[in-house]
Chains A and B, each alone.
Chain A
C-alpha cells in the first residue's frame, strides 16, 4: 500500500488497537468477502478508526447506550435524530453497534454528498463503510441485508441552533418509501447529549455560500484558542427503541407516507423527551 495520510494514521494508532477491537471487527468480516468491499469498506482501516472511535466513545463522551439488543438481524434501518454540528452522533451509534451489540454489526451511515468532496474525509468515511445517501445505495444495501443509519432531518437537523435543540426538524419521506419497498424494520434512535457539544447561535448563509459548505454555524466556543474547536465533552445517552414494522405501497401519495413518517417522528421525539427528563446533568 502506498504511503497515504491514512496509512500514517493507521501506524500512529496501531498500539491503540486493543485485542477486543480486532476481534469485533474480525467478526463483522466473518460473513463478508475478504478485502475491500464494493462500497469501499476496508476492515484494515476500520479497525484503526474504531480504535480511535472507541476512545472517544468510552472516555470523551462516556456514551451510555441502551437497546442495541433490540436491533433485529438481517436488513434494518436505524432512524435517528441528527444533532451536534459535526456528525459525531453517527460515530457514536456506529461504534455502539460494533462495541456493544452481539454479534457486532457494521452500520452504514448515509453521508451527505458534500462530505465526499472533501479530501481525506471522504476517503476515511468510505473506508469505514459509510456510503453516499442516495436511494439507490440504500436499496442495494438493504437488499444485501445490511444495517443502515438514516438521519431524515438531514442538514437541517445537525445544524440546529441552540434554541431549537432537541426539537426534531422536518423529516424527509424517502426513508419510509425505501423501508416499505424493501420491507425493512425501522429502529428509532434517540441521541441525547450531542446538541450541547457545540452551541450554535446562528447559521450564516453568507459564509456558507462563501466557503461552499451546506451550512456555516457560528459557534462562539471556536474562538477559544486550540481547544475551542473540540466539542464539549458532554455525556451521550443513546436509546434504541423497539423495531417498527410498516406496511403499504411505497409509491403512495405523500400524505399517506407522511402519516407513517409522523409515527416514527413522534416516537423519536417522545424518546428524546424522556431521555432529557431522566438526564441529571449535561456532563454526567
Chain B
C-alpha cells in the first residue's frame, strides 16, 4: 500500500495500523521520525517525477491519499499546484499502473457551514464550501476530481471519505481552536457540531480499504453537540465577540500574522455543517468507537 502525506499525524497513525497487515510505503516531503523498520519512506515532493517511478515499480494494492496541503499561509499557487495538480497526476498514475483501489480523505468542510444548510447533509448535497472563501476551493476541487475519477474509472475502487471535524493530536483548525487558552466565540451563535476522533477516521480508512468497497461516504462522530457544551466540557473560558466585528478583525489579525486562523473558519462557529453518515454505517459498517467525551478530551494530548 502507498500512503501519501504519511508523515502527518494522521498519516503516521494510518501507517502504524496498516504495516502489521500489509507492506506499506509512504510519500511525503517531510521526514518520518521513529519510523517502523518495515515501512519504506520516499522523502520526496509528490509533484516530482520520481512519484511516477515509485508507483510504476511499487505494484500497489491500494493508495491512501492523505497528502492534502492545509497550510493556510501557503500561497494560492502553491496550494493549487500541490492539491489539485499533484492529485491530478496521482490519478493519472493510478489509472496507468492499474492500482485497484484509491482512498481519498476529503472533508465535510467541502459542503461549507451555511445558514441554509439542512441539519444533516447527505453525500449528494452540493459542495458549496468555497462559495464564500477561496481558500477552501482547492479542497472542493480535489473532492470533485476524485468524484469524477470514481465515475470515469469503474475498474478502480475509489472511496472518498468526508469526515466532520477531526479531533486528536492532529493540528487542524478545529483541534487548534479547542486547544486555545481562552476561546473566542460569536455572541448569540451556538451551532450544533459533530466531531470525530482521529482513531475513528483511521478505522474508517481501514474499512474503506476492504475489497469491494467504493463510493463517497460522510463520516460523523459519536453524536451532535452545541459548541458551548464542547467548550464547557473542556473547561475553556470563552470570549464572545459580536459577529459583525469578528470577520474584519480576524482578517486584520491574519494579515498582521497575529493569528493562525483564517477568517473562513469563523463560519464553523456560526452556522451548521453536519452530515448524515447513514451510508457509511450501512455500507462501510463504520461505527465510531470513541465516546463524545473521549473525542473531545483527545485534543489535550496534541
Question: Real complex partners, A and B?
Answer: yes
Q: Which of A132-140, A181-189, A233-241, A252-260 contacts B (4 or more CB under 8 A)?
A: A132-140
B147 within 8 A of A: no
| CB-defined contacts of A262 to chain B, threshold 8 Å | none
Per-residue contact bits, chain A 1-18, to B (CB 8 Å; 1 contact, 0 not): 110110000000000000
Q: Say yes or no for A209: interface residue by CB 8 A criterion.
A: no
| One of A34-42, A76-84, A95-103 contacting the partner | A34-42
Residues of A within 8 Å of B223, CB to CB, are 38
Instruction: Indicate if the CB atoms of A132 and B187 lie closer than 8 Å.
Output: no
Q: Is the CB of A134 within 8 A of B188?
A: no
User: In terms of DSSP, what is the predominant structure of the interface of chain B?
Assistant: loop
Would you call B115 and A136 a contact (CB within 8 A)? no
Q: How far is the CB of A74 from chain B (nearest CB, A)?
A: 21
| Minimal beta-carbon separation of B68 from chain A (angstroms) | 28
Residues of B within 8 A of A137 (CB): 118-119
Q: Which of B45-53, B55-63, B90-98, B227-235 contacts A (4 or more CB under 8 A)?
A: B227-235
Q: Find out whether the CB atom of B232 lies under 8 angstroms from the CB atom of A119.
A: no
Contacts of B243 in A (CB 8 A): 119
Interface centre among A114, A131, A136 (most CB of B within 10 A): A136
Question: A40 to B188, Cβ gap below 8 A?
Answer: no
Task: Identify which of B115, B226, B228 contacts A117 (C-beta below 8 A).
Answer: B115
Q: Does A66 contact B (CB under 8 A)?
A: no
* Residue picked from B122, B188, B232, B274, most chain A C-beta under 10 Å: B188
A38 touches B224 (CB 8 A): yes
Cβ-defined contact, A123 with B119, below 8 A? no
Known: A36-B229, A119-B243. A5 touches B188 (CB 8 A): yes
Asked if A120 is at the interface of the complex by the 8 Å CB criterion, the answer is: yes
A114: which B residues are within 8 A, CB to CB? 115
Which 5 residue pairs of A and B lie closest in terms of their CB atoms, listed nearest first? A119-B188, A136-B118, A120-B188, A38-B224, A113-B116
7 chain-A/chain-B pairs, Cβ below 8 angstroms: A2-B238, A36-B192, A113-B116, A119-B187, A119-B189, A136-B118, A137-B119
